[in-house]
């Protein structure tokens, strides 16, 4: 059975077994290694991707659920100006996630910024459980996202001029 879907802006298909997880598909067939296997039970978040603009644990998604849907990984976001806002925001806030979780933290920040132009801590708290690690605090992540929102606003103003 063929499964068609949109991966990082390109139409793709696969004939892997329908029960293959999205995590294994995108790593093994499409070589996208920002998505890491961890617990494989939906708890650790290291395999997070955007599926139709929502953060999901790719280890829990069998590919028969993918037909016609849109998947984005951080590799795709890295080609955009939006990524630069987040990169600058994280730097300004002194927020430096490790390589293992940088992808999920960037995708989480982007999801928040798509939802709120000026995110508040209460808004962002909803996302922290998907993004938790013992080496960074939620507060440091919130500051990094707020700094990113400022860079995004500045860029939007410059664009309008």
Least separation in angstroms between residue 160's CB and ligand FES is 35
Least separation in angstroms between residue 148's CB and ligand FES is 17
Answer yes or no whether residue 62 interacts with ligand FES by CB under 6 A: no
Q: Which part of the chain contacts ligand FES (CB under 6 A), choosing from 12-20, 64-72, 133-141, 146-154? A: 133-141
DSSP 72: E
Which run of H or of E encompasses 49? strand 48-51
List binders of ligand FES among 90-129 (CB under 6 A).
97-98, 100-101
Token pair 């390589």 is at which residue?
99
Quick one: three-class SS letters along 115-156? HCCCCCHHHHHHHHCCCCCCCCCHHHHHHHHHHHHHHHHHHH
Contact 74, 106 (CB under 8 A): yes
Least separation in angstroms between residue 59's CB and ligand FES is 3
Specify the residue, 8 or 48, whose C-beta has the smaller distance to ligand FES. 48
Choose, by CB under 6 A, the member of 8, 20, 34, 46 that binds ligand FES: 46
Least separation in angstroms between residue 116's CB and ligand FES is 23
DSSP 14: E
Give the separation between CA 158 and CA 8, rounded to whole angstroms: 27
Please report, as ranges, the residues that interact with ligand FES according to CB under 6 A: 37-40, 42-47, 57, 59, 97-98, 100-101, 133, 135-136
């Amino acid at each position: 059975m063929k499964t068609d879907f949109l991966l990082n802006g390109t139409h793709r298909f696969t004939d892997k077994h329908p029960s293959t997880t999205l995590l294994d598909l995108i790593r093994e067939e499409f070589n996208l290694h920002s998505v890491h296997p961890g617990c494989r039970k939906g708890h650790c978040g290291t395999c997070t991707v955007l599926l139709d603009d929502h953060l999901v644990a790719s280890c829990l998604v069998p590919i028969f659920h993918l037909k016609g849907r849109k998947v984005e990984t951080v590799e795709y976001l890295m080609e955009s100006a939006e990524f630069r806002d987040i990169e600058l925001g994280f730097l300004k806030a002194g927020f430096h996630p490790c390589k293992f979780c940088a992808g999920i933290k960037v995708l989480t920040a982007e999801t928040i910024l798509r939802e709120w132009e000026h995110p508040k801590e209460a808004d962002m708290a909803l996302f922290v459980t998907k993004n938790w690690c013992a080496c960074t605090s939620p507060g440091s992540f919130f500051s990094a996202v707020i700094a990113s929102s400022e860079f995004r606003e500045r860029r939007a103003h410059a664009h309008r001029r």
